[in-house]
Chains A and B, each alone.
Chain A
Amino acid sequence: MMELLVGPVLALAIGAGCRLLDIPLPAPPKLQGALLVLAMTVGYLLGDHLLG
């Protein structure tokens, strides 16, 4: 449960730090790109659920 709280906070801090320090972000810099990554994962899990 603690990891689920620490993870998003750490990810937000990494994203903000990358922007403030002008370091390339290890994620798409646009929200639409990040949502596409999420959609791919959802599609993969959906396929995993349907195919077995």
Chain B
Amino acid sequence: MSWKLGVGLLLGLAIGFGCRWLGIPVPAPPVLVGASLVVAMTSGYLLADNFIAAHPARHRHDCGGPSGDTKEPRT
């Protein structure tokens, strides 16, 4: 764990504590289950990202470009 992530987590803790102390709405779900769902959504996004990176499109050259021509260079 890098020190930047550690500082960020401490800052997040301080922001959450300060919001509760000052009575300000916290910019995160105020329930632990909600925050865990945010982490789960990000995990699903990253898992799909890894899947896509490991499985590149094999028939991309068959796909048409903006004009429908399969040999048209893509921008």
Quote the shortest CB–CB distance from A44 to chain B (angstroms): 4
The residues in B between 26 and 59 inclusive whose CB is less than 8 angstroms from any CB of A are: 26-49, 51-52
- Classify chain B: how many residues form its interface, as a range: 35 or more
Interface of A is mostly: helix
Interface of B is mostly: helix
Q: Closest chain B residue to A49 by CB distance? A: B20
- Classify chain A: how many residues form its interface, as a range: 35 or more
Contact B43 A44 (CB under 8 A): no
- Provided the pairs A8-B40, A20-B52, A40-B28 are in contact, do residues A47 and B16 lie with their beta carbons within 8 angstroms? yes
**Chain A residues in 8 Å Cβ range of B48:** 15-20
Contact B41 A36 (CB under 8 A): no
Complex A-B, nearest 4 residue pairs according to Cβ-Cβ distance, in ascending order = A43-B16, A15-B44, A39-B12, A47-B20
Interface residues of B (CB under 8 A from A): 5, 8-21, 26-49, 51-52
Interface residues of A (CB under 8 A from B): 4, 7-8, 11-20, 25-48, 51
